């Protein structure tokens, strides 16, 4: 019995070290309180990093890319815009999101799916004062819509805010 315990402890230590080295997240059964968790940084305009090292993809919105990627190339081809121009818009969206959430405690609300194909949490995010982050980014004109069923709880709200932002030339629509 003692050898088995030592072996399991050793294996857990190796996995934890490998996880740290390769960026894997191994919470060892810890259940995080997503009703009050710190955003350590905005990764880009629609992705956040939490204090537990999990990434959160904001449901229902899409901001322009800031970095070279296949998505940037696709977006440039689809829109006819120059990649440099898209990256500049992505930087503006990132700055807005960063100022809105970085270093602040938030509450996550989940929809039908909890993770995307990249293993990021999919969530609606709220600041402590009640500000609905996903909606605020759209409302201020820093995101387009990205509705992917079955995660559609606030799709109609986002459509309304998106139309208003475009009509009023807010954010990226100036």
pLDDT digits (tens, 9 = 90+) for 149-168: 999 999 999 999 999 999 99
With 60 as the cut, is the pLDDT of residue 24 above it?
no
For residue 25, tell me if it sits in a domain: no
Asked if 133 and 61 count as a contact pair (C-beta separation under 8 A), the reply is no
For residue 155, tell me if it sits in a domain: yes
Q: How confident is the model at residue 29 (pLDDT cuts 50, 70, 90)?
A: very low
Residue range(s) defining the domain that contains residue 158: 33-173
Q: How confident is the model at residue 72 (pLDDT cuts 50, 70, 90)?
A: confident
For residue 159, tell me if it sits in a domain: yes
Q: How confident is the model at residue 71 (pLDDT cuts 50, 70, 90)?
A: confident
For residue 3, tell me if it sits in a domain: no
For residue 60, tell me if it sits in a domain: yes
Structure token digits, residue 72: 């940037």
What 3-state DSSP class applies to 163?
A: helix
Q: What is the CATH number of the domain that holds 53?
A: 2.40.50.90
pLDDT, residue 22, reads: 54
For the ranges 68-72, 120-124, 126-130, the lowest mean pLDDT is seen at 68-72
pLDDT, residue 7, reads: 58
Question: What is the Cα–Cα distance from 75 to 81, expressed in whole angstroms?
Answer: 8
Q: Greater confidence, 7 or 63?
A: 63
What is the pTM assigned to this prediction? Answer: 0.81
For residue 145, tell me if it sits in a domain: yes
Q: How many domains are contained in the chain? A: 1
For residue 98, tell me if it sits in a domain: yes
pLDDT, residue 92, reads: 98
With 90 as the cut, is the pLDDT of residue 75 above it?
no
Kindly report the number of other CB atoms within 10 A of residue 81's CB atom. Answer: 13
């Amino acid at each position: 019995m003692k050898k088995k315990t030592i072996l399991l402890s050793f294996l857990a230590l190796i996995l934890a070290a490998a996880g740290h080295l390769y960026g894997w997240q191994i919470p060892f059964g810890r259940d995080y309180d997503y009703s009050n968790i710190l955003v350590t940084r905005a990764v880009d305009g629609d992705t956040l990093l939490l204090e537990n090292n999990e990434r959160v993809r904001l449901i229902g919105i899409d901001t322009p890319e800031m970095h070279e990627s296949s998505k940037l190339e696709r977006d440039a081809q689809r829109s006819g815009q120059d990649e440099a121009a898209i990256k500049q818009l992505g930087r503006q969206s990132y700055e807005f999101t960063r100022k809105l959430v970085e270093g602040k405690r938030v509450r996550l609300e989940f929809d039908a799916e909890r993770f995307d194909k990249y293993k990021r949490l999919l969530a609606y995010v709220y600041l402590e004062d009640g500000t609905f982050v996903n909606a605020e980014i759209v409302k201020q004109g820093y995101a387009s819509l990205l509705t992917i069923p079955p995660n559609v709880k606030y799709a109609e709200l986002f459509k309304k805010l998106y139309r208003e932002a475009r009509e009023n030339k807010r954010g990226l629509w100036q």
